[in-house]
Chains A and B, each alone.
Chain A
């Protein structure tokens, strides 16, 4: 347990993030009455769910020492698969199925290239980042698909007890992922791979199979996120999810997951997501300057890791 690089530190990091989040919410609520009302918060969180779902898969991948730059582009490809299937068959279930299958296949391809040819995940997913978006643009030729019917467009918009349907989906997935990572053998093995994949291999962990599985999971989540995305806009186009990968990685890293692998929790990612989301909302609405949001989020990312590294070094002597 103590080998899994400072689980105490993990909890400590989450507490600090939570403190920051509460502090931010207090300041925001004081400066802008009405910012904290449940209704406005829920209204403003409509676009959060796709990011949040992608962040779960990304957390597992980064904890295992990998990275997936292709999730945003995979969403583009999934959206096109969704649109084309719907246009051909008029069956919404088939379209959803095709969307998920495309995502799963995209993730499997990433994983297969990484594990089979022993390539660096950054390079493989940089290649598929360009390739998936390019294939989506190539086969759809810039066409956009829409009018998927009222029932489908309600999927992302309808609420049940004030909370939108994708919210329940995310909470369910987040709890499952958190349990798997923290409490199951697979979770232990993911930490082991991220910490030292050679050592994990010699301890009998099926390293390659597990990594393949993680990328496939991330791809499947990209397919799922696309369904919500398409439902929300009622349009499927090759540019779906553009730039999502960077926001997702930012949230995961701010949430305390080490980019070198071996450290990170789902809880941290969720808090990181909320922290970035609320920072954006607050900055955007208080100063009414949209551009300031990206400056603040970018600096938040650098400063959070900088501070963490400084504390780590003080606590453990000289830790890389």
Chain B
């Protein structure tokens, strides 16, 4: 543990330095980058990714993966729309919101059960759900977009409280909650224990199954929560919501220094990576290199992952992982 700690700090320092550097460069071109309006926009953009990344981090720390969150976002968005829209069931917020959250948690729990009880590898389960949930979404939306969400919901998502949209508040609370879980509760320590060595954890009497169920269920719940704060900002609900969202979230978690083989990672790293990844597009816009630049967003995102993991590999002490020539 002591050997790994400085490495972790390297990662967070590196990310923070990169964010500061990019911010300085861009604001020297155009001070508008630091204007309150723009900063607020960027925080709003970060919010859904940050919320789901908290859950994904726990899943990856237990050495599993969940690539179905994008499709789950679409499914919960469609369910939310049908329940709350005045053109459909027009239910009260007090029923619709908990039901949406329950749906997300339920799908997460199902994933967890298939992984732990069914012994199906998580990448297979969530690959299947990635396809199936997207199909289910288009089925229940019947090719039509859903509009007419209650104004209280859309107003909270767009304007929010104290000038800050509700998504940012929710993201902050989720980060705080996840931090508390990881740092101060036994659950957090058990999640890391299961991820670093399942056999050692089992010998200590920890239930691998329960920890993984918790991580998947939490991720499903957070995905539904992200949907609730993000989707009402959009003009209408389409079936394409959340396409490739899972890849963005996994990217952020990996760039944030969470080991894909489990047991290692910090929340701070993940948050910094989320900020860095969401900055790419606004930065390209602000640099005013023209339309051309935005087409490179994907390439830059890929480069960040490559640099992050290669850096890890070069900094890795020789006795960890690189045991062979």
A residues whose Cβ falls under 8 Å from a Cβ of B? 67, 113, 117-120, 122-124, 126-135, 137-138, 141-142, 198, 201, 246, 249-250, 253, 259-260, 289, 291-302, 305-306, 309-310, 313, 320
Give, as a whole number of angstroms, the nearest-CB distance from B218 to chain A.
Answer: 21
A127 to B295, CA, bound (A): 16
Which one, B119, B250, B296, B322, contacts A313 given CB within 8 A? B119
B302 touches A129 (CB 8 A): yes
Chain A residues lying within 8 Å of B254, measured Cβ to Cβ, are 123, 126
Chain A residues lying within 8 Å of B131, measured Cβ to Cβ, are 246, 250, 294-295, 297-298, 301
A137 touches B135 (CB 8 A): no
Interface string of B300-325 (1 = CB under 8 A from A): 11110110011001100000011010
B128 within 8 A of A: yes
Which one, B132, B135, B260, B298, contacts A122 given CB within 8 A? B260
Give, as a whole number of angstroms, the nearest-CB distance from A311 to chain B.
Answer: 11
Give, as a whole number of angstroms, the nearest-CB distance from A319 to chain B.
Answer: 9
B132 touches A294 (CB 8 A): yes
B128 touches A299 (CB 8 A): yes
23 intermolecular pairs with C-beta atoms under 8 Å apart: A118-B313, A120-B260, A122-B123, A126-B251, A127-B303, A127-B305, A128-B302, A131-B301, A131-B303, A132-B302, A134-B298, A134-B299, A137-B298, A250-B131, A253-B124, A260-B121, A292-B139, A294-B132, A296-B135, A305-B124, A306-B118, A309-B119, A313-B119
Q: Dominant SS at the B interface?
A: helix
Question: Given A294-B132, A306-B120, is A138 in contact with B296 using a C-beta cutoff of 8 Å?
Answer: yes
Question: Given A118-B321, A294-B135, A297-B131, is A137 in contact with B121 using a C-beta cutoff of 8 Å?
Answer: no
Q: Dominant SS at the A interface?
A: helix
Give, as a whole number of angstroms, the nearest-CB distance from A277 to chain B.
Answer: 15
B residues whose Cβ falls under 8 Å from a Cβ of A? 65, 114, 118-121, 123-125, 127-136, 138-139, 247, 250-251, 254, 260-261, 292, 295-303, 305-306, 309-310, 313-314, 321-322, 324
B139 touches A124 (CB 8 A): no
Select from chain A the residue with minimum beta-carbon distance to B120.
Answer: A305
A302 touches B129 (CB 8 A): yes
A133 touches B298 (CB 8 A): yes
A292 to B301, CA, bound (A): 33
Chain A residues lying within 8 Å of B135, measured Cβ to Cβ, are 291-296, 298
B324 touches A127 (CB 8 A): no
Give, as a whole number of angstroms, the nearest-CB distance from B177 to chain A.
Answer: 27
Chain A residues lying within 8 Å of B305, measured Cβ to Cβ, are 123, 126-127, 130
Question: Given A134-B298, A302-B128, is A117 in contact with B309 using a C-beta cutoff of 8 Å?
Answer: yes
By Cβ-Cβ distance, the 8 closest A-B pairs, closest first, are A131-B302, A298-B132, A134-B299, A134-B298, A294-B135, A130-B302, A298-B131, A127-B305
Chain B residues lying within 8 Å of A246, measured Cβ to Cβ, are 127, 130-131
